[in-house]
Amino acid sequence: MIKKAVIPAAGLGTRFLPQTKAQPKEMLPIIDTPTIQYVVQECVDSGIEDILIISGKGKRSIEDHFDKNFELETRLQEKKDEVLYTHLKHIENMANIHFIRQKELNGLGDAIYHARFHCEHEPFAVLLGDTIIDSVIPVTQQLIDSYEQYGQTVIAVETVPWENVSRYGITVGDNLSTKVIRLKELIEKPDRKNAPSNMAIAGRYILTPQIFRALEKTPRGKGNEIQLTDALQFLLKEEGIVATLIEGKRYDMGNKMDFLKTTVELALKRKEFSEEFEEFLRETIAKIDEERKNNPVKQKNF
């Protein structure tokens, strides 16, 4: 049984500057909910309530978000706003969350190594703090199910467009079923021409404690950082690793375009304003189409 989860959230978020100069990218909101809250909720929905967040300098707002805010709660009670009050109480009580700082940004592998004393000799889940996955069955639960069946490290994977393979860790293996692959190789962000497949790591893992030993002997790799994918390649030589093809849609909050797409798609799923928002989008697209029809030269020059 997987009882603990680790959420790395120490990155600088440079692709979202200037917004992330003083605000962690993991706190970027999808409407009114920070990205990392979706990730924590996935842990809870998968039966995990012991969570370690690996943070860093300038990430204090993450801790504050999951902490109690006595003054705000008192004000909401005075205003008799039970809906918001209940929502805030849920956030502060949703899990037993611990924090530790990665003092130097030495890569995802180094961030995971900071969890060695918290996780000790137990297998644990890892969920990237800037990745949301919308699914009926939480993806972490899907990985737990695979772990319980195979008893090995499990990696979430998805197929990505070939032109995007250089953005991901890429896997190669043999199919054990339609959803499970026994891995043979992992490659961190290969060039398109050298990528052996377009089966990409999707930001969710179940790791055995042997990963810490593998990280200890993993040299710096891509970007002069300690890459988790490289450590998993070491681990692969010592024990089996399986990959599970996820059922769900992954939203990578690491770039602005995906952030915009995520906001629109998840907004359309919010009952309180989905109908009105959809109508707004249709009207906006109609206006754009009309402008293009009436001003073809202007559109071409643009």
Residues 277, 267: contact at Cβ < 8 Å?
A: yes
pLDDT of residue 297: 64
**pLDDT at residue 46, as a whole number:** 96
- pLDDT tens digits, residue range 79-120? 999 999 999 999 999 999 999 998 888 889 999 999 999 998
Q: With a threshold of 0.85, does the pTM exceed it?
A: yes
Cα 46 to Cα 156: distance, rounded to the nearest angstrom? 15
Per-residue pLDDT at 302: 47
Nearest to 268 by CA among 76, 128, 121, 134: 134
pLDDT averaged over consecutive 10-residue blocks of the chain (302 residues)? 92 80 88 94 96 90 92 91 92 93 87 92 93 94 95 94 88 89 88 88 94 89 81 88 93 84 92 92 93 72 49
Query: How would you label 246-262 residue by residue, b for 16+ Cβ within 10 Å and e otherwise?
Result: bebebbbbbeeebbeeb
The secondary structure of residue 294, as a DSSP letter, is: H
**∠ CA(291), CA(294), CA(300), 5° rounding?**
75
Give the pLDDT of residue 59.
85
User: Could you report the per-residue pLDDT of 132-166, keeping only the tens digit for each?
Assistant: 999 999 999 999 999 999 999 999 999 999 988 88
Question: 251, 258, 262: which is closest to 42 by C-alpha?
Answer: 251
CATH of 4-254, one of 3.40.50.620, 3.30.365.10, 3.90.550.10, 1.20.1250.20: 3.90.550.10
